[in-house]
Chain A
Amino acid sequence: MINRVLRGVDQLSKSVGHAFAWCILILTLGTSYEVFVRYVLNNPTSWAFDMSYMLYGALFIMAGAYTLSRNGHVRGDVIFRLWPPRVQGSIELVLYFLFFFPGVVSLMVAGWGYAADAYRIQEVSVNSPIGVPVWPLKMLIPVAGFLLTLQGVAEVMRCILCIRDGSWPQRLHDVEEIESALQHQQEDEARQRRGEPAEGAK
């Protein structure tokens, strides 16, 4: 049961993160188009500026939960990594309640009011005369807060599983940075040389 919920939340965060990740491709193409029409045709668009920060903002805010599900938010874990998994799990469990939920829950609740205000007055961007509405971007704040809260619940479950089993449960398989992919590969090969079974991505 706990595993199914965990996997479901991970999957949701991952899907949303992957979907919004493609903003980068639109951002690349759109900005390159702006460069082309500005320099070659001497006719800049009136939308490129608003488009650029909207795609960027959507991209990172909606990837927050996904990044959390991959343990990708930066930590100062010099001491943390020295502890046995059970201690890590217990400390992390407490810290989630102290230092995670207060922030992301307020993002969800207050973000809703913030976005609703913008929607009510149909607020537009101040950057260009064409009046691009800003409420869709603001609306992503409570959505991101909600996804983060959900992912936080999943992380809490992970802590509980870790305390119960004495080791961190596996995360969903996903793309890895070259350095970690290669290091895992090296570890697996070393294990194989020693005749132990290979372990999947952590």
Chain B
Amino acid sequence: MTDPQAALLMLGMFIFIILLGFPIAFTLMAMGVAFGYYAYFQPDQAFFDNRVFYLFTQNTFSVMNNDTLVAVPLFLFMGYVIERANILDRLFHSLQVALRVVPGSMAVAALITCALFATATGIVGAVVTLMGLLALPAMLKAGYDQRLSTGVICAGGTLGILIPPSIMLIVYGATSAVSVVKLYAAAILPGFLLAGLYMVYVVTRVAINPSLAPKLPKEQTDIPWTRVVVMLLQAFFPLAVLIVSVLGAILFGLATPTEAAAVGAMGGLALAAAYRALTWIRLREAVYLTARTSAMVCYLFVGSWTFSSVFSYLGGEALVKDFVLGLDLDTVTFLILSQVIIFLLGWPLEWSEIIIIFVPIFLPLLPHFGVDPMFFGILVAMNLQTSFLTPPMAMSAYYLKGVAPPFVQLWTIFRGCLPFLSMVFLTMVLMYVFPQIVTWLPDLFYGN
């Protein structure tokens, strides 16, 4: 067996083993060590003298002193603190009242609540679950269509991984060496475009077919405007201001993403204190959950970097490159092909595994097709919206099903997600046809 063949075997075996359900980070480490042992094998060497053990340790340390990833636990912490700040119900309620004249006001309010809350916390599961308990029963009680109600919550809650400040983009930055700041600038318009399309879709459908979202009874919406303004001031604006200031500080270069995340976490603590939700127990919970989720993401990096070091040492990277270049694809075909592969990977896998493990296979190919890694990253981030919505691992749908009233079928939720999936694809096509959607803001801030 030649070395590059060993590398291919390694990749093939990994894809098979990943499906057995063992924790992926450790699978990657063990496979990296095993194949690396083969790559570095010297017959006259004692067992532990094999170089792969040292390589593994070096890669571990490289993850530990990676300055991009420092922002990950900080943003997670900010998210967990805000998540526990008792803000979601106020937020939803205030938006619902403020939007009462819009067709399908509850659905639009749910969408905005999901998007805003998910953006602030970056945690999809929490917002979908909480909204499933809070907004879904209210919508169903008001006679809203099941598919529309569930689709809005699943799709809206997933937006948080795309709209900055997003942890997914930090992880892509650490993987691709693209500046996180530029990625944030690049993701804003596509994120808003997608959210806007969702909203237009909901309003249009309800306008065409009002039976999907009956108007609320008068006594529920008859609240004076002054009261509405106070509600918004209390619930909507503090969170919006926090997000805007964290993002602004990064985009205007006032702070690095890490610094902005730290200040954002402080802001989250202040917000929680203002809502009288900052108890010792909640703080402790946020701290412990931050540690667990950080470990989950960063151990994946330890495994992946070890795996890919051995993969390229064996010549696997060069082999993949030669193979793809040998196909003689044009740029469009390459982009479509890569996005289809990522979409398919999103069925069984989640964004973290895809970005940390599979996206690096595409990255070395980008220069040959003249694709900007920043643009590619935003396409991937957009594409990975679908990974939460497509079975069999449709996490958003599962979270919602777990808390939804029993008569809401999983199948209904999947079908509710479908129109939103098609809007993700539409946005990707728009991004390809009008790349300015992605490049305009980064050029404006950091361009010539």
Q: Is the CB–CB distance between B125 and A177 below 8 Å?
A: yes
Q: Which of A35, A60, A104, A107 has the most CB of B within 10 A?
A: A60
A72-B255 Cα distance, complex, nearest whole Å: 32
- CB-CB under 8 A for A74 and B353, given A92-B22, A186-B402: yes
B177 to chain A, nearest CB (A): 16
Q: Which residues of the partner chain B approach A186 to less than 8 Å between Cβ atoms?
A: 402-403
Q: Is the CB–CB distance between B291 and A52 below 8 Å?
A: no
A179-B299 Cα distance, complex, nearest whole Å: 23
Interface residue A188 (Cβ < 8 Å from any Cβ of B) = no
B79 to chain A, nearest CB (A): 11
Q: Which residues of the partner chain B approach A113 to less than 8 Å between Cβ atoms?
A: 54, 57
Interface residue A7 (Cβ < 8 Å from any Cβ of B) = no
Q: Is the CB–CB distance between A67 and B33 below 8 Å?
A: no
B163 to chain A, nearest CB (A): 20
- CB-CB under 8 A for A35 and B263, given A114-B58, A178-B130: yes
Q: Is the CB–CB distance between B288 and A73 below 8 Å?
A: no
Q: Which residues of the partner chain A approach B317 to less than 8 Å between Cβ atoms?
A: none
Interface residue B266 (Cβ < 8 Å from any Cβ of A) = yes
Q: Is the CB–CB distance between B30 and A179 below 8 Å?
A: no
Interface residue A182 (Cβ < 8 Å from any Cβ of B) = yes
Q: Is the CB–CB distance between B288 and A76 below 8 Å?
A: no
- CB-CB under 8 A for A35 and B262, given A102-B34, A178-B130: yes
Q: Is the CB–CB distance between A75 and B23 below 8 Å?
A: yes
Interface residue A146 (Cβ < 8 Å from any Cβ of B) = no
Q: Which residues of the partner chain B approach A56 to less than 8 Å between Cβ atoms?
A: 64, 69-70, 72-73, 294
Q: Which residues of the partner chain A approach B300 to less than 8 Å between Cβ atoms?
A: 74
Q: Is the CB–CB distance between A59 and B294 below 8 Å?
A: yes
Q: Which residues of the partner chain A approach B63 to less than 8 Å between Cβ atoms?
A: 57
Interface residue A103 (Cβ < 8 Å from any Cβ of B) = yes
The stretch among B13-21, B208-216, B327-335, B362-370 that forms the contact with chain A is B13-21
Q: Which residues of the partner chain A approach B402 to less than 8 Å between Cβ atoms?
A: 179, 182-183, 186
Interface residue A1 (Cβ < 8 Å from any Cβ of B) = no
- Chain B contacts with A in 331-363, Cβ cutoff 8 A: 348-350, 352-353
Q: Is the CB–CB distance between A32 and B292 below 8 Å?
A: no
Q: Which residues of the partner chain A approach B254 to less than 8 Å between Cβ atoms?
A: 39
Q: Is the CB–CB distance between A75 and B21 below 8 Å?
A: yes
A56-B67 Cα distance, complex, nearest whole Å: 9
- CB-CB under 8 A for A21 and B291, given A114-B58, A178-B83: yes
Please report the total number of A residues contacting B with Cβ < 8 Å.
76
Q: Is the CB–CB distance between B56 and A103 below 8 Å?
A: yes
- CB-CB under 8 A for A53 and B70, given A72-B292, A182-B129: yes
A81 to chain B, nearest CB (A): 7
Interface residue A121 (Cβ < 8 Å from any Cβ of B) = no
Interface residue B27 (Cβ < 8 Å from any Cβ of A) = yes
Interface residue B133 (Cβ < 8 Å from any Cβ of A) = yes
Q: Is the CB–CB distance between A99 and B22 below 8 Å?
A: yes
Please report the total number of B residues contacting A with Cβ < 8 Å.
84
- 1/0 contact trace for A95-118 toward B, CB 8 Å? 100111111101101110110000
Q: Which residues of the partner chain B approach A79 to less than 8 Å between Cβ atoms?
A: 19-21
Interface residue A24 (Cβ < 8 Å from any Cβ of B) = yes
Q: Which residues of the partner chain B approach A196 to less than 8 Å between Cβ atoms?
A: none
A107-B129 Cα distance, complex, nearest whole Å: 37
Q: Is the CB–CB distance between B290 and A24 below 8 Å?
A: yes
Chain A binding surface, main DSSP class: helix
A113-B57 Cα distance, complex, nearest whole Å: 9
- 1/0 contact trace for A164-179 toward B, CB 8 Å? 0000000000110111
A23-B74 Cα distance, complex, nearest whole Å: 10
Which of A17, A52, A179 makes the CB contact (< 8 A) with B126? A179
B146 to chain A, nearest CB (A): 18
- CB-CB under 8 A for A182 and B403, given A31-B74, A56-B69, A114-B61: yes
Interface residue B128 (Cβ < 8 Å from any Cβ of A) = yes
Q: Which residues of the partner chain A approach B295 to less than 8 Å between Cβ atoms?
A: 17, 60-61, 63-64, 66-67, 72-73
Interface residue A70 (Cβ < 8 Å from any Cβ of B) = yes
Which of A53, A68, A80, A81 makes the CB contact (< 8 A) with B65? A53
B373 to chain A, nearest CB (A): 23
- CB-CB under 8 A for A177 and B48, given A66-B291, A103-B30: no
Q: Which residues of the partner chain A approach B263 to less than 8 Å between Cβ atoms?
A: 31-32, 35
- CB-CB under 8 A for A21 and B22, given A99-B27, A102-B30: no
Q: Which residues of the partner chain B approach A34 to less than 8 Å between Cβ atoms?
A: 259
Q: Is the CB–CB distance between B31 and A73 below 8 Å?
A: no
Interface residue B406 (Cβ < 8 Å from any Cβ of A) = yes
Q: Is the CB–CB distance between B129 and A78 below 8 Å?
A: no
A65 to chain B, nearest CB (A): 9
Q: Is the CB–CB distance between A78 and B287 below 8 Å?
A: no
Q: Which residues of the partner chain B approach A183 to less than 8 Å between Cβ atoms?
A: 129, 399, 402-403
Q: Is the CB–CB distance between A80 and B20 below 8 Å?
A: yes
- Chain B contacts with A in 205-259, Cβ cutoff 8 A: 254-255, 258-259
Q: Which residues of the partner chain B approach A101 to less than 8 Å between Cβ atoms?
A: 30
Q: Is the CB–CB distance between B70 and A52 below 8 Å?
A: yes
A109-B265 Cα distance, complex, nearest whole Å: 37
Which of A60, A102, A190 makes the CB contact (< 8 A) with B294? A60
Q: Is the CB–CB distance between A17 and B291 below 8 Å?
A: yes
Q: List 26 A-B contacts (CB under 8 A).
A: A17-B288, A17-B292, A23-B291, A24-B73, A24-B287, A32-B265, A53-B67, A59-B73, A61-B298, A66-B295, A68-B23, A73-B23, A74-B23, A75-B24, A78-B392, A102-B30, A102-B34, A103-B30, A103-B33, A106-B56, A109-B53, A110-B48, A113-B54, A174-B288, A177-B126, A186-B402
5 nearest CB pairs, A to B: A80-B21, A57-B64, A103-B29, A31-B262, A21-B291
Since A17-B291, A28-B262 are in contact, a sample of 6 more A-B pairs with Cβ atoms closer than 8 Å, ordered by chain A residue number, is: A57-B63, A72-B293, A95-B22, A102-B34, A107-B60, A114-B61
